[in-house]
Structure 1
Amino acid sequence: MELTAAHWTYLAGVVVIIGVMIARRNIVVPAVLATFLTAWAYSGDLVKGLASIFTASLTAAGELFSIFLIIAIITALLGGLRAMGAEQRMVRPFRGLMRGGRAAFLTIAAATYFISLFFWPTPAVPLIGAILLPAAIRAGLPAMTAGAVMAVAGQGMALSSDYVIQVAPGLSAKAAGVGTGAVADRAMVLSLITGAVALTYLYLRGRRSFGVAGDEHELRWLAQENGLDAGAEVQLGGSPGARGIGKGAAAAAATRAATGPDTATQVLEPSPEVAAAPPKPEPVRRSRLFAVLVPLTFAAIVGYMLLGKFTDVVGDVQGDEAAGLVGGVAMLLLFAAVFSIDGSHGLTTAASHVVDGLVFAFKAMGVVVPIAGFFFLGNAEFVSRITGVHDAKPPALLFDLVASVDQHIPDNGFMLSFAILIIGMITGLEGSGFAGLPLTGSLAGALGPAAHTDPATLAAVGQMGSVWTGGGTLIAWSSLLAVAGVARVPVQDLVRHCFLPVIAGLAAATALATVLF
């Protein structure tokens, strides 16, 4: 196969992007420049090359807008629940289960996973830190172990599978050219394997330090110096579980952890209309109702989707249909929550929550658009749309590069899975669990057929590596900083505490991936 200047330019762009990720720098600028140079080399027209900077991002935005919309709707729903205090009530029942260190370990893991699966770790961390963590410490669970469990269950298990909202599987699947449902199913299984191994490791290593319930544990925890990083501000990546946190903000988060919800993690300040509204007493009965109704509704949706996958009772719902079902139901729940507390003013506050959700979606995931635009350029399906060159047979730049070295690719799915895992972990080093998914997905789609391995499985493996690393379990400049803040432990110590359990879990899941699928 003859490789052109466009192929070599594209390859150079991939190499530079990986190098920038390893250096822990943002990859938007190299992705945009690589798009321009590749399109210019392919079209031979400087104007088309310049225009491709815009059309690549436009193409990616069009392909990914359904993902942005579901993020916005879920965020808007969370805003409506927060307005009535229902998000706190969703986790309060777990407090009664913590009778000792072992029970606290399991309760923290279950509650963090449950909340993060439906709303992502961003709200889960302050909720658990404010409501459950003091009770867990009082029950005898060490703060370091509690922080590690929160990170593994939330930023790891829940965020890496993203089974309900399906943003991560959607990004991986589109880049790999496979169905979102296939990637989501595999990612769910692999995330559970990784999480089970990591949590078991943490439990066995820390069980001897579990104490008996007593107020002295909490008093000692509150009195100790917070272990937040005292260095310069750390700018986190754009993943849903991450946020830019400086030492002052992180310290404030730790202080608020013992007193109430961390309002610093809210997406935006309330809109002027909402801020101007007079304060209202807490609608206790309604908040209790929605604290039960919302989780049960989402659990029913998951059950419906599983019923469609494994039985013929209902039709199979996956991919865009699943996202549409979750988004539609979430929007109706938002309206119900808003009108139940605001009455006729709900027309205004509902719109404000939706706008806040859209702003958050683009702030959290907007960085992915130009990156995805570059990797879409490597797919024959998008070359013409991006460059404006309409050839009868447009090149598949990334796939052609892989095909040119096909004879050197090991025909071994086991080895290839670990290679994709390592690449995924490298992409996660820049602190954003989702920014590297277009790369790992594209490589999975290109390398899988050459090695006779299911691309959906490889995409799920790459997703595990990227999200578990950058989402907030293995690097200190990710949202793990927020977990360390609410747990009042040094973030570097928390990284070391999580490292071996998470690596063991990822290795086990990757080794089983090609056996199970």
Structure 2
Amino acid sequence: MCMDVQLDAVHSVYLLGVAAIVLSMVLRANVVVPAIIATFAVAATFSGSLIGATISIFNGSLVAAKELFSIFLVIALMTSLLNALRALGADQQMVQPFRRVMTNGHVAFVVVAVETYVISLFFWPTPAVPLVAATLLPAALVAGLPPIGAVIAIAVAGQGMALSSDYVIRVAPGISARAAGLPDAAAIIADKALVLSLITGAAALLLGYLAVRKQIQAPSQLHLDRWQAGASMANSLAEQREQVAPNIGSFDKSVLALQAAEGVEPGPAAALAGGGTLAVAPAARWCKLLSVATPVVFGCLILFMLAPKFFPDLPDLKGGDAAALVGGTAALMMLVATFAADGAKAMHTAADHIIDGLVFSFRAMGTVLPIAGFFFLGAAETSGAILGLPAGTQGPGLLFEVIHSVEHLIPHSPTVVAFAVLLVGMVTGIDGSGFAGLPLTGALSGALGPVAQIDPTTLAAVGQMGAVWTGGGTLIAWSSLIAVVGFCRVPVLEAVRVLFLPVCAGLILSTLAAVVLW
């Protein structure tokens, strides 16, 4: 990048667009509209053509779609697998054994956290919340764990640890890497994010446990009876959402979680009793088999992806191969589960599962496209295609050029820059979505890394921690935390108050670890 670049009106308009998007996040407004308007304004200023600027709006989302479609497809295939397992009842069979080991509230806290983390790592927290609520939560309450303790375990392990690393599906690392201009570095960011998420989560779980330890009681059925005397989980979720945030950020994950719950629970009474929708006679054998085979297969995938890090002679997966392997495995497992559940009808239901997965994928992530398109406009590698420049012509790297022009004002301290990116990530998470800010934190990481002499992948992982832990559902009352507190029947503001210090302490600790380790 040229160090003597002269800033002009295009750079100013781009910075105004960034400011407008961040302000929208702070105000909890949907950021799609300012992203589209900002893209139009930058393109119009650059080209001087309203027609060209209008075309750039489409090109921005198209370029983002080309860069990110592999991510959408992995989400869709994993969701289709979960739907197929749910049809068999194998999703609930996978967690049933954990009910037997919850002998007291202390053990229940650990079991709920571990099971939520495992499910969320493979299927995201959205389906994990209703699944845990339907199967493990009643047993945990009987064991003596207070509802606020369940909220801490589920939110920190699922919306925090699992979602912030996103190590299996790799949506977040993929977005961060592409925004940083390092599309082949998604695996590196995923590895670093996994370490940081474990550090943050361990600290948050420990401090959260200490905060509710005195509320844990001796095992008794009376705990569940008192809890059941309240409103239904669905009504509780709806009331929480209506009171706190009628417009809940970019992805509205509480609604997605509620819809997922409808596929898990036949009704509140059956769910609370731990019954669920287990498969009956004809498919019972396949249900048990797949409930064991699914975690075993994906556990082997994790070991396969980690093996080259411990045994350098083994071939490593390159680029998006890891996510592709997960997606392909999910598709094959989905076919097995579908044929087991539906027999000859599987030719039709398998296609339906894939369609449902794609619908869920675009509902959950579709708004990322115009947002990512705007931030891709700030990178030289992608701006040319968005602005309609001739093929092979490199476009302006607006964000990178601005960073280099003010390089002398930026502290050359990795620690200061790392915490600055963390703060930016946390600010972008205020809208309650978690992933909407990743294009910004990724772009900043790619621009600030060389200036501060810190690896951009490290900064991207730190920014990812700030954005997802804040907006993903641990610190913001209008995020998908509403789904967690709705199912557990805990006031959302009480949950935020209890989670605030543990999560913030964990983020500070993990950011310091990132600077020291890398």
2:264 & 2:406 partners in 1: Cα distance?
50
Pick from 75, 91, 98: which aligns with 1:87? 91
With structure 1 as the length reference, what TM-score do the two structures score? 0.92
Check whether the contact 1:108–1:146 (CA below 8 A) recurs between aligned residues.
yes
The 1:251–1:164 alpha-carbon spacing in structure 2 relative to 1, beyond 3 Å, is closer
The 1:62–1:251 alpha-carbon spacing in structure 2 relative to 1, beyond 3 Å, is closer
The 1:80–1:251 alpha-carbon spacing in structure 2 relative to 1, beyond 3 Å, is closer
Does 2:203 match 1:197?
Answer: yes
1:320 & 1:420 partners in 2: Cα distance?
25
Which residue of structure 1 lines up, in the alignment, with residue 377 of structure 2?
Answer: 377
Residue by residue over 1:229-251, the C-alpha shift from the partner in whole angstroms, topping out at 9 and shown as x without a partner, is 262763334449543689x9999
Q: In structure 2, the residue corresponding to 1:243 is in which secondary structure?
A: helix
Which residue of structure 2 lines up, in the alignment, with residue 106 of structure 1?
Answer: 110
Partner amino acid, structure 2, of 1:476 = A
Check whether the contact 2:126–2:256 (CA below 8 A) recurs between aligned residues.
no
Give the C-alpha shift of residue 148 in structure 1.
1.4
Aligned positions of 1:109-508 closer than 5 A = 109-178=113-182, 179-224=185-230, 228-229=239-240, 231=243, 234-239=246-251, 241-243=253-255, 256=267, 259-260=270-271, 283-390=283-390, 393-508=394-509
Check whether the contact 1:130–1:256 (CA below 8 A) recurs between aligned residues.
no
Does 2:31 match 1:27?
Answer: yes
1:223 & 1:512 partners in 2: Cα distance?
45
Check whether the contact 1:36–1:49 (CA below 8 A) recurs between aligned residues.
yes
Give the C-alpha shift of residue 505 in structure 1.
0.6
Residue by residue over 1:415-463, the C-alpha shift from the partner in whole angstroms, topping out at 9 and shown as x without a partner, is 1111111110111111111111000100010111111111101111111
User: RMSD over aligned Cα, in angstroms?
Assistant: 2.4
Identical-residue share of aligned pairs (%): 52
1:356 & 1:13 partners in 2: Cα distance?
35
Residue by residue over 1:4-47, the C-alpha shift from the partner in whole angstroms, topping out at 9 and shown as x without a partner, is 21111101100111111111100101101110110111122221
Q: In structure 1, the residue corresponding to 2:136 is in which secondary structure?
A: helix
Q: Which moved more, 1:216-225 or 1:349-358?
A: 216-225
Check whether the contact 2:28–2:249 (CA below 8 A) recurs between aligned residues.
no
Give the C-alpha shift of residue 2 in structure 1.
0.7
2:409 & 2:156 partners in 1: Cα distance?
37
Give the C-alpha shift of residue 511 in structure 1.
1.3
Give the C-alpha shift of residue 259 in structure 1.
2.8
1:392 & 1:352 partners in 2: Cα distance?
42
Give the C-alpha shift of residue 354 in structure 1.
0.4
Check whether the contact 1:60–1:372 (CA below 8 A) recurs between aligned residues.
yes
Does 2:45 match 1:41?
Answer: yes
Check whether the contact 2:31–2:250 (CA below 8 A) recurs between aligned residues.
no
Residue by residue over 1:173-224, the C-alpha shift from the partner in whole angstroms, topping out at 9 and shown as x without a partner, is 1101221011101100000000000000011222222111111111122224
| Residue-pair matches, total | 501
With structure 2 as the length reference, what TM-score do the two structures score? 0.92
Provide structure 2 residue ranges, at least 5 long, that are not aligned to the other structure.
none
Check whether the contact 2:129–2:257 (CA below 8 A) recurs between aligned residues.
no
Partner amino acid, structure 2, of 1:385 = A
Q: Which moved more, 1:84-93 or 1:385-394?
A: 385-394
Write out the 4+ residue segments of structure 1 that deviate beyond 4 Å after TM superposition: 224-228, 238-242, 248-258, 279-282
The 1:403–1:221 alpha-carbon spacing in structure 2 relative to 1, beyond 3 Å, is same
